[in-house]
Amino acid sequence: MFVAIEIWYPLIFISFLTVSCNQNLRDKKDIKHSNTLSIVDTTPVSIVDTTLKGQDLVSTSEAEPVEKFEYQTVPFEIKEYYPKVSDTSKFVKALGENCHLYLTDKSKHLDKFKRIKLNGSTKDFYYIEYSFPISANCEFPGRYQIILDSKGNFLKAISAVRVDIIKISPAENPYLFALLSTAHGNGGHQIFRINKDTIEQVFDSFLGDGPQTYSTGYNNDVNIPNELYHNFSDENNDGLNDLIFFGKVRYSKIDLGTDDKIAKVKFVFLYNKANGHFVEKEDYSEKYKFIYEY
């Protein structure tokens, strides 16, 4: 009996430690994570063979590095091409290689190449837009817009259906006003300006799901017109122009074409002087949920 107690006592103690460690692990899982996106370290990680060979673990191979896009190691020699490009293919290829753009092998048409001013800066910038034929939804809209600074430094690549260079305030430099969409016609708008030599997107869009400033009816609702009307005017009488979208939405609780209804909509985005963004005046997902809840 004395021998049996000597054998089982250590086993009971080890079991107690195991339970305690598991409880600690469970306690750690209760830690709440913030909504902040974490930065992923893309350094290749060694694949380790966990088969024991003596006391050593053997590294068998390295993971393939993830290909990166939209960056430079040296500025693009933009002044070699501006203002007139004699060979579009050569120009776009050189631009793509310098800025590490994702380019297809299809022929490309240079649509725009101009020097512009942008809100938030007194400097000059280069705006380049090229298009290509599409054969799959993933290639939609078949065009890219590239912004470089005056020294050829890459700032931004946009794949928008359309980009307008517009003045929101008469006394200030213009913004880039972009219409973006999927191949299925779900889309909306973005507004770009310069902030400390980088491109900043200043249209904060909707708080919730549902409303779209561009829709062709892929879901059970469609905008009339597909791209809602918009204007820039002082909605709240603070002396600053705000962004207003307006129009109608045709919708159905079943499928479009069955018991359709039409409702007028108006989306106001007030200009926030503190950060220069256009912010929803109210929660339009809540206000118009009778349209977007199927």
For residues 99 and 81, what is the distance between their CA atoms, to the nearest angstrom?
16
Rounded to 5°, angle at Cα 168 from 164 and 174: 55
pLDDT single digits (tens) 107-143: 889 999 999 999 999 999 999 999 999 989 999 999 9
Report the SS3 class of residue 9: helix
Q: How many other C-beta atoms are found inside a 10 Å radius of the C-beta of residue 86?
A: 7
For residues 123 and 115, what is the distance between their CA atoms, to the nearest angstrom?
10
DSSP string, 211-231: --SEE-SSSSEEEEEEEEEEE
What's the CA dihedral at 71, 119, 228, 145 to 10 degrees?
Answer: -30
- The one-letter amino acid code at 128 reads I
pLDDT at position 154:
97
247 bridge partner residues: 265
For residues 94 and 108, what is the distance between their CA atoms, to the nearest angstrom?
13
Contacts of 188 (CB under 8 A, 6+ apart): 179, 180, 181, 205, 212, 213, 214
Radius of gyration of the chain (CA): 28
Please identify which residue in the block is written with the tokens 């631009």.
Answer: 95
Candidates 257, 278, 256; CA nearest to 201 is 278
DSSP string, 170-190: TTS--EEEEEEE-TTSEEEEE
For residues 143 and 157, what is the distance between their CA atoms, to the nearest angstrom?
10
53 Rama sector, left if φ>0, alpha if ψ -120 to 50, beta otherwise: beta
Cβ proximity of 206 and 215 under 8 Å: no
Q: How many other C-beta atoms are found inside a 10 Å radius of the C-beta of residue 196?
A: 7
Q: How many other C-beta atoms are found inside a 10 Å radius of the C-beta of residue 3?
A: 7
pLDDT at position 20:
45
Q: In this structure, what are the phi and psi dihedrals at residue 197, rounded to the nearest 5 degrees? A: 70, 15
Candidates 286, 220, 285; CA nearest to 253 is 220
Burial 57-77 (b: 16+ CB within 10 A, else e): eeeeeeeeeeeeeeeeeeebe
pLDDT single digits (tens) 53-85: 344 444 445 667 777 889 999 999 999 999 889
pLDDT at position 29:
37
222 bridge partner residues: 250
pLDDT at position 16:
42
Taking the chain (294 residues) in consecutive chunks of 10 residues, what is each chunk's mean pLDDT? 43 42 40 32 38 41 73 94 90 93 84 97 97 92 96 97 96 97 95 96 93 92 97 96 98 91 98 97 96 85
